[in-house]
Each structure stands twice: as structure tokens, then as C-alpha cells.
């Protein structure tokens, strides 16, 4: 008995949640996320060793598809915790009752800056501002200056040079649309009509836009201007140590990704511990290199290349989550009419 008591006391001191019969990995938490989720397995392995909780990752499309699946299955959820519902869909998930309240102790270490509401159901994990990116050398070869903002993209000298993602099928495409709404307000439809007249190319998703159509990526496509992320230039460092591409920081829309315990989860207590894991310094340090986004936690050092090539935008456009929820579908329909006819 004395030996058992000492062992139990040691576990408590270590902060572990293993029971006397548990072995690492005996308990499983299903993490439902989007297709772009990536992590360092070593971080999850250490978490399992410390807590006895194994994290099973299930991917479910992009942020929009993920949100749809969470809504459709909320009575019998696909897992215990979800990550990847972003700014553009957060209000829908909350209005539909997808998430349960869980307030992580780590939420006060930076994620509180990005709260959607005060319900404690969603906690920010990362920030990935969507911005126009340009291939600087390709523009120079055409004798063109780097555009400085939205208005330049409609200038005839940039005709047939811009590729964007469809906001109906792509999270960055929707974020870019919302950025134009925030910047032009009642004039945003007219702005898109100008882009259409100026030869904007619309594709279904980021992968096609960036890796196939954009000239500044490995695909070396034909168009030197693309909608991507503020962090994207950090992946395009040349042999001289300089970034080959640039994000136009006056075209950025703040996109935050959230995690939360799912309502009706089979294992809500352990699911909360997985939210804590996603906010931990160990996981947050891996976020830039694994997913090319900025950590939500304060004080996490960014990779050296990011300081030069991918500084976090200081004044990105934003819209209230409730306004996005109330108008998203109408705005997409208006966009279709203006751009696709």
C-alpha cells in the first residue's frame, strides 16, 4: 500500500493523468481537423507518454468542409476535439452549437487576443493572414513595379497577371473576398468587376493557385501575382538568402484558426487536455515550419527566415465574426454574379 501511495504521489507531482492501470496510449482522443494540419509526431509522442492519451488525427477537407461536417454530425460528433475552424466559419460553428465550453489555462498566454466571443468554446491556436503575394523578379522582367495595394491590381498594366481562389470553395479565397469587403465596403462589388475586366483568373483552391499558376513557386506558373499568405515568402528564399516573393501587407485579412472541445464528445475531459497541448510552447514552436502560420501564443520565437521574409502584418483587415456569419452566403452570391456572370 505504501509503495502504491508513493507511486500515485509521484504521478501527481509530475502532473500526469495516468491511472494505476493505464499505459501510454490506453486512452484515445480523436482530433478532427482539416487536410492542411501537420504536426511533429515527437510532440504528440511526449504528450502520450506524460498523460496516457493517444491523439488520433482525422482529416476532413478544408476549413469550410470541416465546419460543414462538424455541424452535420454535432449530435454524434466525428471526434472529441476539433482544430481548424477559422475566422470565416467560427460564428457558424458557434451558432450551431458544435462546441462545448472549455477554457484552457494557456488561453491567457496570447490566444485571448483573438477570441470570437466570451463563451469560452473556441480558443485561437494560430494566425495565418491571407495576403496578395508577388513574384518580384517576374514583375521586374516585365518592367512593372510591385503593386502596393488592392487598387493597383485593377490597373490595366497588371492585366492577366493575378490568380485568386474561389471564395465558395477555398478558405484563402473567402478571406481575400472578405478583405475586399472590409476595405471597399459598399464598393467591393464594383472592385471585383474591375478585376474581372482586368483578367483575374479564378481557380478552385490554394494548391492550384500557388503551385500551378503562380510564377514564384516551384511550379513556375505564368502569373506573378497570387492570393496566398503573409508567411508564404519564407518558403521562397533564394540562394542569396533573400526572399524571391513578397507579401503585400496592405492587402492582408486576418485569418485565425481555432480549437475546441466538441459538444457531445465521448471523452471531453481528455479532449480539453489536447486543446492544452495545441497551446503548449512545444506545439506552438512547431506551427511556423509545419503549417506556415504564426503561433497564437505570445513569446514563441519564429524561424530566422521569417523575420526577414514573413513578418506578421501589423494592421490586417478584419470583420466581426457575426457580420461574416450574417452575410457570407450573400456576399459569395454577389461575387459569383460580378466575377463569373
Distance CA 278, CA 106 (A): 10
Please check whether residue 245 lies inside any domain of the structure. yes
Range of the domain at 95: 21-128+255-307
The pLDDT value recorded for residue 13 is: 34
Q: Please check whether residues 316 and 174 belong to one and the same domain.
A: yes
User: What's the CATH code of the domain at 268?
Assistant: 3.40.190.10
pLDDT of residue 24: 53
Q: State how many domains the chain has.
A: 2
324, burial (CB in 10 Å: exposed 0-12, middle 13-18, buried 19+) = buried
pLDDT of residue 15: 40
Query: What was the pLDDT predicted at 307?
Result: 80
pLDDT at 88: 87
Looking at residue 23, its pLDDT comes to 54
Per-run averaged pLDDT (10 residues), the chain, 341 residues: 35 39 71 94 98 96 88 96 93 95 97 94 96 97 96 98 93 94 97 98 93 91 97 90 93 96 97 98 95 94 87 91 92 97 83
Give me the long-range contacts of 137-144 (CB less than 8 A, separation at least 24): 137/244, 138/215, 138/216, 138/224, 139/224, 139/225, 142/224
Q: Does 187 reside within a domain?
A: yes
Judge if 120 and 144 occupy the same domain: no
Report yes or no on 13 lying in a domain: no
Same domain, 111 and 71: yes
Give me the pLDDT at residue 321, please.
Answer: 86
**One domain, residues 298 and 161:** no
| Shared domain check, 178 and 226 | yes
- Looking at residue 322, its pLDDT comes to 86
- Please tell me the pTM assigned to this model: 0.83
Check: CB of residue 29 under 8 Å from CB of residue 271: yes
Amino acid at each position: 500500500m505504501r509503495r502504491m501511495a508513493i507511486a500515485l504521489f509521484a504521478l501527481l507531482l509530475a502532473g500526469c493523468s495516468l491511472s494505476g492501470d493505464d499505459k501510454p496510449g490506453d486512452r484515445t482522443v480523436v482530433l478532427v481537423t482539416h487536410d492542411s494540419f501537420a504536426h511533429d509526431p515527437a510532440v504528440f509522442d511526449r504528450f502520450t507518454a506524460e498523460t496516457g492519451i493517444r491523439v488520433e488525427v482525422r482529416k476532413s477537407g478544408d476549413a469550410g468542409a470541416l465546419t460543414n461536417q462538424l455541424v452535420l454530425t454535432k449530435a454524434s460528433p466525428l471526434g472529441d476535439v476539433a482544430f481548424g475552424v477559422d475566422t470565416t466559419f467560427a460564428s457558424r460553428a458557434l451558432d450551431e452549437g458544435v462546441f462545448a465550453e472549455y477554457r484552457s489555462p494557456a488561453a491567457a498566454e496570447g490566444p485571448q487576443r483573438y477570441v470570437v466571443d466570451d463563451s469560452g468554446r473556441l480558443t485561437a491556436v494560430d494566425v495565418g493572414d491571407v495576403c496578395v503575394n508577388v513574384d518580384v523578379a517576374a514583375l521586374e522582367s516585365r518592367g512593372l513595379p510591385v503593386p502596393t495595394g488592392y487598387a493597383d491590381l485593377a490597373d490595366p498594366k497588371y492585366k492577366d497577371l493575378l490568380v485568386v481562389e474561389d471564395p465558395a470553395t477555398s478558405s484563402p479565397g473567402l478571406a481575400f473576398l472578405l478583405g475586399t469587403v472590409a476595405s471597399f465596403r459598399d464598393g467591393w462589388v464594383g472592385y471585383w468587376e474591375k478585376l474581372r475586366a482586368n483578367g483575374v483568373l479564378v481557380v478552385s483552391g490554394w494548391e492550384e493557385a500557388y503551385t500551378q499558376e503562380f510564377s514564384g513557386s516551384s511550379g513556375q506558373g505564368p502569373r506573378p501575382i497570387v492570393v496566398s499568405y503573409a508567411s508564404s515568402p519564407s518558403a521562397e528564399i533564394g540562394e542569396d538568402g533573400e526572399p524571391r516573393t513578397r507579401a503585400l501587407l496592405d492587402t492582408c485579412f486576418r485569418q485565425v484558426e481555432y480549437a475546441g472541445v466538441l459538444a457531445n464528445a465521448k471523452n471531453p475531459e481528455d479532449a480539453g487536455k489536447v486543446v492544452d497541448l495545441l497551446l503548449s510552447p512545444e506545439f506552438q514552436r512547431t506551427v511556423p515550419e509545419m503549417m506556415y502560420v504564426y503561433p497564437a501564443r505570445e513569446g514563441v520565437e519564429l524561424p530566422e527566415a521569417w523575420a526577414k521574409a514573413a513578418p506578421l502584418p501589423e494592421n490586417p483587415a478584419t470583420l466581426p465574426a457575426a457580420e461574416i456569419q450574417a452575410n457570407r452566403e450573400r456576399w459569395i452570391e454577389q461575387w459569383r454574379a460580378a466575377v463569373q456572370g
